Amino acid sequence: MVYTMVNLVIMRHGEAEPQSSQDSQRQLTAKGRADVTQMANWLAKSYQPFDFILHSPFIRTQQTAELMWHGQSSKPSLQTLAELVPEGDCQQVQLYIDALLETQANARILLVSHMPLVSFLVETFSKTGQTPIFETSGLVGIEYQPGQRGVVLEKMSVAELPLVTSAF
């Protein structure tokens, strides 16, 4: 099923190495890479290609974004957005996305970030009270237009993918 109205996807990075002295330098594990690749394959079959993939400056989100980029049939713009760090400012992210959508109204955007920011972003871009907990590599698809509250159309995790793919 293709959700043509989903134009904003918020995704948590894949599973990363255990905590280290520099959180920003943690890399994806082999399982994290496999999970992200599985999600990228599902997204490529379920959603229209992205125009932009935005990620935090942390290594694990860069790696996740690159794997998602490789899974796209067309190659979207891949950009670092400093506000997508774990303690980032949701309103600043929303202002950036609104400006992007003002210049390219039909753009499809993937944001790759961290907990707890991904949960707060869902609430920022949709209705109050929508703050889901994200598993690693999990995502939420939203129909969003600047100046309006978006609608969450789908929440998906890697654990749910076999259930979805076996239904076809």
In a domain, 87, yes or no: yes
Q: Are strands 8-12 and 139-143 parallel, antiparallel or unpaired?
A: antiparallel
In a domain, 3, yes or no: no
In a domain, 1, yes or no: no
Give the domain range for residue 25.
8-166
β strands within the chain, DSSP E? 8-12, 52-55, 77-80, 109-113, 139-143, 151-156
- Name the nearest CA neighbour of 117 among 148, 94, 147: 94
pLDDT in tens, 73-98: 999 999 999 999 999 999 999 999 99
> Residue 43 belongs to a domain with what CATH number?
3.40.50.1240
Q: What is the pLDDT of residue 134?
A: 94
Q: What is the pLDDT of residue 4?
A: 53
Lookup: tokens for 88 = 């980032």
Its pTM stands at: 0.93
Question: Of all helices (H) and strands (E), which one includes residue 166?
Answer: helix 161-166
Q: Is the pLDDT of residue 165 over 80?
A: no
In a domain, 2, yes or no: no
pLDDT in tens, 9-48: 999 999 999 977 899 999 999 999 999 999 999 999 989 9
β strands within 73-121, DSSP E? 77-80, 109-113
Q: Is the pLDDT of residue 7 over 50?
A: yes
Number of domains making up the chain:
1
In a domain, 67, yes or no: yes
